[in-house]
Structure 1
């Protein structure tokens, strides 16, 4: 896809530093709503972080601009054939600056590199920016999960 990168994103390891930033981001009411993040405490976040090193069903990277961590992207519920894409730009001044597009493209390329058949995105119907981004990248509405949430799907075998 052709577009002008407003900000150049870089993808790095998900570290404890990023975990701490994620705590702040995901406790912001607007971010919690947009990402449908349930309430969580430091202890459960720490257990999740420690579990990452032994998990095969999770791929996660931090998103950086210059020397500043600004977000997170990844795949969860990974199987041999599919996975659920997720991501968020925690630093709001980077919203609308093509970072989301770059993150999704990064994840799509990773998913292809490990030979997944498809990836899917679980999105709130009210999160029009995420739905627009998914459509821009070729995702199609797959199904309604409930009255507030839809699943978007990208078939990687149809990608060129």
Structure 2
């Protein structure tokens, strides 16, 4: 999709603060309020803006442990990969799931309260799955950067 400078300014401003009113956003990107409203609607309708969310501080809600988990499957056929994705998709603690290559088949970003909660999740999602060959988890000791913005 082609973006002009106004679209880029709108997207960058919304990624920094999506709670702005249309008037505030229009002023920030130097366009009229009707133009801004029309542009934002178009960006939503075309799926460029996938959704707008609130970012929650994990430590403030008791989710103190972040794990980056590598998963290797025994069988990498497309339907078996899709089965694994369907297994982890409804799990609230799995924040992100990526098919990757080379190396493991999947990398998951997991946010849980503590190590017992991680063990319960690992037992529930991985230990009982015949197609899961290997699980390797890395536990975050400090998060020095976390961004959600994509430069457009």
TM-score of the aligned structures, taking structure 2 as reference length: 0.30
In proportion to residue count, which structure has more strand?
1
- Which protein is bigger by CA-based radius of gyration? 2
TM-score of the aligned structures, taking structure 1 as reference length: 0.29
Highest RCO, 1 vs 2 (Cα 8 Å, sep ≥ 6): 2
